Structures are given as C-alpha cells and as structure tokens.
Amino acid sequence: MPSPDLILRNATLPDGRTHQDIAVADGRILAVEPAIAATAHEEVDCAGQLLSPPFVDAHFHLDATLSYGLPRVNASGTLLEGIALWGELKPQLTHEALVERALAYCDWAVGGGLLAIRSHVDTSDPQLLTVQALLDVQKRVAPYLELQLVAFPQDGILRSPGGLDNLKRALDMGVQVVGGIPHFERTMAQGAESVRLLCELAAERGLPVDMHCDETDDPLSRHIETLAFETQRLGLQGRVAGSHCTSMHSMDNYYVSKLLPLIAEARVGIISNPLINITLQGRHDSYPKRRGMTRVPELLAHGVRVAFGQDCCMDPWYGLGSADMLDVAHMGLHVAQMTSQAAMRQCFDAVTTTPAAILGLEGYGLAPGCHADFVLLQAQDPAEALRLRATRLKVYRRGRLLAENPAATTALHLPGRPAQTDRLHRASAPARGAT
C-alpha cells in the first residue's frame, strides 16, 4: 500500500461492518479493512461511530432559497400560490443577492455533510439572470461542493412564450440537465408534448433529464407514463428522473400496477421530496386529507431507484428547512411508513447512495479507489442517525476536513439526583440482522 496521508480508525459503516479503518492518499480511498498496520501523519479515532459517504440532495432550488418573506409569505400554502409568489419576486432579483443566498445555503449544506446538490434553475426569464447567477455559484463552490444544474422552465415551455428557446439558451450557457414541468402546461396533451420535445432535446444533446412530473393530487395526471415511454423510445434508459410524482399517491391501484413495471423497465429514477409533498399536497382536501407523497415502498419493490430531496428551504413554497438531509429522510420514513429495519436503511440510502447513482457521481462510495469524501456521524448506525438527526462530527472531501460540529450532550442538574450527562437518548441497538 502506498503511504496514506490520513487514516480514520474504528468506524462503523452504513452496511453494518464495524471496526473498520479507512486509509486515504491523494484524496482517494486506499483501503477499507480492520486494523490497518500502516500509520499516517493524520489519524482520527471514529470511536465506533457511523462513517458514511456524504449526503447527496437530488432535488433543490438554489435560485429561490433563503428568500422567505420576499416580497410576502405564501398565505394558502399551495404550490400554485408559491409559483405566483416566485413570479412576484423575480423582477426584484439581482445577481448579487442570488449568489449571496445560494452561497449561504451551500455553507449550511457543507456543515451538515451535504456535498452534492442537483439544483433546478428557473429558465423562464429571457434575461436568464438566475442561470447566470447559479453558474457563477457552481464555479465558486466547485472546490468543496458538487453542484449539478437543471434547466427548469417554471412557467412551462409551451405555456410561456419563448419557454423552449430560453431553456435551450440555458443549456448553451452550460446547464447540464434538461428539466420540465408537464403538469403546468395548459392541457394534458400539451404536457405530453412538452415531455416528448424535452426528451428529444436531451437525446440530441446527450444530456440527462430530470423533470418535475405530476406534482399534483390529480390522479389523472399521468405524465410519468409519457416520460417512461419517451425514455424507452429514445434509448435514454438510466439517464432520466421524474421528480415529485405526487399524483401517483392518488392514482387508481389497477393503473399503478401497470405503471410501476414501465418505470422500472425504462430505468427512470424517482425523486420524492417528503418535506414539501406533505405540506403542499392535499391542500384542496377536507378530511380525510391525502398525504400526497409518491408510492416509495412500491417503487422500491419494483427495483426503481428512489431518492429523497430537500426541494425547498425558506422560499415561496416552504418556510422551514436547514439543508439537513437527515430531516428529509426522517420525514420520508414517516410519511411512507418505512419503519422496518431494512426500510429505515433504504431511507438512509435515499439521501446518500441512491441520489449519487441518479446524479451519476463519479467515485462516490466507501470502496478503495473512491473519493475520500465522508461524514462522521454521532450515531451507531443509519437508523440511529435518522432517529436523532445525528450531529455531523466531521465532514471530509477529498481527504480534507471541511467542517466540524461539537458532539451533542446535555448536562442534567436534576433535584435529588447526582449531576449527569445525558447519553443522547441512546438505546441499545437492535440485534444485527433484525428486520
């Protein structure tokens, strides 16, 4: 083994392996095995805690982030008022303010161990101010965060004049992924037409596709079917993702039994956004109110990749959020009722390995040869990380320490009891292999 410059000792890995040492040289992983004999200039004792590859967010809007309250808040809490509110804010945007807010969010992300983000960028404005700003941000954060940009026609490519041309110009400027919003086009037919045009554009240019697809409670919004069909027809398998797909929650079960194998066959990835779906969907319902999130366990059972995204953070659609992917996975777990040990592990994967695969990240993972990108969590395993939204003790990228957070403790001073330090609600872990 070449001489390592960093060794992380005694880590537990997300797959359950314990007492693992990870040796790193020149920003790549050299070896992952128990008790590595070599020594390094820098050695870190992980004390048996969970070492994961970094969090990945497959769905975000960096151009709108941290604008909550500008120029007012969303009174109805609906998707459509959010879109209208974003329309009111757009004329007031400046390059400097966009860059400043996006950089601030990226700082939060790194502090929380989130080192890769796929952000949609609105291409509706002919000036493409948002696109310029996020391309600028992408360059600035490149040394510490991988940012992928999706050309997102918020106002529709057919519904808004010049929509398709603006989107193409954004791609010409260097945006890497083709987006879309078929459920916002004027009719179902135009929505389907937009999917066809955008997939053909992606095929021509050799680009991936990630569309906002069926973000509605209307069970007849079936653009995901068209997206799977066009993926198959144009040979785009493995390069296409459908985001949200909330209408699937409300669809007829018989139809879904036909749809799920079509999505799997076309290898279309699905990106669900639990925090946003549970707050925006079902707003037209009285009681009972639908949850609105797509059918995550059923998609997974069909072999479809399903990632969980943050989507929004303090913007016209959502007044909360903190770039914390464990919060996102925690909500996804609850809304989808993924409470078995295996399902909780899938929820952890949905903010780490699964979005990394959908984004096509090179060198992601904990195997020799992968980038030395890690987050050390104050937890024993993925389920405990989710339960406690565990402190991210250390965040590394390419073997370099980017962020540290002090371990969470509580000093208790209870009458009639000796002073003690809380053990962070630690309970004994379930027996390995429990499901």
Active site residues: 215
Q: For Zn ion, what does the binding mask look like between residues 308 and 327, x meaning CB under 5 A? A: ---x----------------
Contact 311, 61 (CB under 8 A): yes
Q: For Zn ion, what does the binding mask look like between residues 91 and 120, x meaning CB under 5 A? A: ------------------------------
For residues 122 and 311, which CB has a smaller minimum distance to Zn ion in the complex? 311
Q: For Zn ion, what does the binding mask look like between residues 257 and 296, x meaning CB under 5 A? A: ----------------------------------------
The Cβ of residue 260 has, within 10 Å, a number of other Cβ atoms equal to: 19
* Token pair listed for 372: 């030395």
Question: Residue 317 Cβ, how far from Zn ion at the closest point, in Å?
Answer: 8
For residue 415, CA distances in Å to 77, 78, 313, 410, 412 come to: 45, 48, 41, 16, 10
Contact 306, 296 (CB under 8 A): yes
Which residues partner with 101 through β-bridges?
none
Q: Is the dihedral of CA 275, 281, 284, 286 positive or negative?
A: negative
For residues 315 and 384, which CB has a smaller minimum distance to Zn ion in the complex? 315
Segment contacting Zn ion by CB under 5 A, of 85-93, 184-192, 304-312, 417-425: 304-312
Question: Residue 168 Cβ, how far from Zn ion at the closest point, in Å?
Answer: 21
Question: Residue 246 Cβ, how far from Zn ion at the closest point, in Å?
Answer: 11
Bond from prior residue into 4 cis (ω within 30 degrees of 0): no
Segment contacting Zn ion by CB under 5 A, of 89-97, 128-136, 307-315, 406-414: 307-315
For residues 325 and 344, which CB has a smaller minimum distance to Zn ion in the complex? 325
Rounded CA-CA distance 14/6 in Å is: 20
Question: Residue 311 Cβ, how far from Zn ion at the closest point, in Å?
Answer: 5
CA atoms within 13 A on the CB side of 211: 33
Question: Residue 245 Cβ, how far from Zn ion at the closest point, in Å?
Answer: 12
Which residues from 218-247 bind Zn ion, rule CB under 5 A? none
Segment contacting Zn ion by CB under 5 A, of 64-72, 131-139, 233-241, 306-314: 306-314
Which residues from 23-42 bind Zn ion, rule CB under 5 A? none
For residues 12 and 354, which CB has a smaller minimum distance to Zn ion in the complex? 354
Rounded CA-CA distance 6/32 in Å is: 12
For residues 327 and 381, which CB has a smaller minimum distance to Zn ion in the complex? 327
Query: Helix, strand or coil for residue 176?
Result: coil
For residues 311 and 349, which CB has a smaller minimum distance to Zn ion in the complex? 311
Contact 138, 106 (CB under 8 A): no
The Cβ of residue 137 has, within 10 Å, a number of other Cβ atoms equal to: 25
For residues 246 and 380, which CB has a smaller minimum distance to Zn ion in the complex? 246
Exposure class string for 294-308: b at 16+ Cβ within 10 A, else e: bbbebbbebebbbbb
Segment contacting Zn ion by CB under 5 A, of 175-183, 305-313, 360-368, 424-432: 305-313
Rounded CA-CA distance 78/61 in Å is: 17
Give the residue closest to Zn ion by C-beta: 311
Query: Helix, strand or coil for residue 279?
Result: helix
Binding residues for Zn ion, rule CB under 5 A, total 1
Sequence-distant (≥ 6) Cβ neighbours of residue 428 within 8 angstroms = none
Rounded CA-CA distance 12/107 in Å is: 27
Q: For Zn ion, what does the binding mask look like between residues 148 and 177, x meaning CB under 5 A? A: ------------------------------
Question: Residue 59 Cβ, how far from Zn ion at the closest point, in Å?
Answer: 6
Question: Residue 65 Cβ, how far from Zn ion at the closest point, in Å?
Answer: 11
Segment contacting Zn ion by CB under 5 A, of 65-73, 98-106, 303-311, 388-396: 303-311
Which residues partner with 376 through β-bridges?
51, 394
Binding site for Zn ion (CB under 5 A): 311
